[in-house]
């Protein structure tokens, strides 16, 4: 198994970190942006061939930038075989509020996982050269992982989300997912949000608070879904999409602060009350949606 690593690059003030993925041998998945110069923020072992399968096309992992996800969700998808996420990136939890952990197009994401489920092994670019591997005491395809504080908690959340995806997948549930009129499966994403809040806030989180944040998030999802339709219709461009989504995210964060209170809010989102966080990069959005 290869060592897969998530990296973060600091960006402009008020803009979330850019994230990308590499394997220990040096191959990189850019995730819409730069793919060098960042700091390692998570690491785990998994099939680089499966990660590469998930990443198609062109390291986007099937997401529509600014509509169904940004670089954080893209990196998380590619890191799925390693069971870790880029949760240490600045602005990550605001990004999760806007797009979930793996993107809002849950039905398409589960279909992608199913399509790549039979893929295993390593891509040549992620297999260390024999000489270099021997010097480091590694077998072909292996690499070092980097242990960081909070890894166990992150892995536990990933496992819980994976179990959620498979929970109660009866023929009827499968049919429901396939026949959704919207690309957003609100039911699954609401369950994911509950798991995220329980992971971040522990036993202190109240059921009423979870319902409040779920409601705020669902409203945000619906708004972004409508903006995505306008984007595809050509009535708005990428830069305008980014600005409108960022404004909506910061408005939603204020509502979350009101519901959670200062202490729980800061713990949940790793932001100071009143601190704005823009999760969609207008430059990338303008370039992608020309």
**Is it the case that residue 99 has pLDDT exceeding 70?**
yes
Average pLDDT over every residue of 134-163: 73
In sequence order, what are the residues at sequence separation of 6 or more whose Cβ sits closer than 8 angstroms to the Cβ of residue 29? 20, 21, 22, 35, 51, 52, 55, 59, 75, 78
Is 109 a residue whose pLDDT tops 90?
Answer: yes
Question: Residue range 226-255: average pLDDT?
Answer: 96
Residue 139, pLDDT > 70, answer no
Output 55 or 167, whichever has higher pLDDT.
55
Q: What tokens appear for 48 in the block?
A: 């680089």
- Please state at what angle helix 92-99 crosses helix 207-233, rounded to 10 degrees: 70
166 closest CA partner among 183, 184, 191: 191
Mean pLDDT of the 233-247 span: 97
Output 183 or 223, whichever has higher pLDDT. 223
Report long-range pairs for 163-166 (Cβ below 8 Å, ≥24 apart): 164/188, 164/191, 164/192, 164/195, 165/110, 165/113
Q: Indicate if the pLDDT at residue 179 is higher than 80.
A: no
Query: Per-residue pLDDT tens for 118-136?
Result: 999 999 999 976 544 444 4
Mean pLDDT of 63-77: 97
Mean per-residue pLDDT, 77-95: 97
Handedness of CA 283, 284, 287, 290 (dihedral sign): negative
Measured distance CA(91)–CA(270) in Å, rounded = 8
Unique residue bearing structure tokens 């989300």: 161
pLDDT at position 170, please? 65
pLDDT of residue 180: 63
pLDDT at 138 over 60: no
* pLDDT of the residue at 135: 42
Task: Round the average pLDDT of the chain to a whole number and report it.
Answer: 90
pLDDT confidence bin for 216, thresholds 50/70/90: very high
**pLDDT confidence of residue 65:** 97
Are 238 and 288 in contact by the 8 Å Cβ rule? The answer is yes
The per-residue pLDDT for 215 is 97
pTM of the model: 0.92
Which pLDDT score is estimated for 28?
Answer: 98
């Amino acid at each position: 198994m290869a060592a897969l690593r998530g990296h973060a690059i600091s960006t402009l003030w008020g803009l979330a970190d850019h994230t990308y993925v590499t394997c220990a041998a040096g191959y990189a998945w850019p995730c819409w942006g730069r793919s060098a110069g960042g700091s390692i923020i998570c690491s785990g072992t998994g099939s680089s061939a499966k990660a590469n399968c998930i990443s198609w096309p062109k390291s986007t992992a099937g997401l529509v930038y600014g509509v169904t996800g940004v670089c954080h969700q893209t990196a998380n998808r590619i890191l799925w075989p390693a069971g870790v996420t880029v949760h240490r990136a600045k602005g990550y939890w605001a990004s999760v509020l806007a797009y979930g952990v793996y993107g809002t197009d849950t039905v398409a994401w589960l279909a992608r996982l199913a399509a790549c489920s039979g893929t295993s092994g390593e891509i040549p670019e992620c297999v260390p050269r024999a000489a270099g591997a021997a010097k480091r005491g590694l077998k072909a395809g292996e690499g070092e992982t980097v242990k960081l504080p909070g890894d166990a908690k992150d892995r536990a959340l990933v496992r819980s989300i994976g179990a959620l995806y498979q929970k109660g997948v009866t023929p009827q549930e499968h049919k429901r997912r396939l026949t959704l009129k919207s690309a957003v499966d609100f039911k699954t994403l609401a369950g994911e949000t509950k798991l995220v809040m329980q992971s971040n806030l522990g036993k202190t989180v109240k059921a009423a608070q979870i319902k409040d944040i779920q409601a705020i998030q669902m409203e945000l999802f619906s708004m972004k879904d409508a903006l995505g339709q306008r984007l595809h219709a050509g009535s708005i461009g990428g830069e305008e999409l980014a600005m409108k989504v960022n404004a909506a995210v910061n408005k939603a964060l204020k509502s979350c602060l009101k519901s959670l209170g200062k202490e729980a809010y800061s713990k949940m989102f790793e932001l100071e009350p009143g601190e704005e966080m823009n999760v969609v990069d207008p430059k990338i959005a303008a370039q992608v949606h020309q």
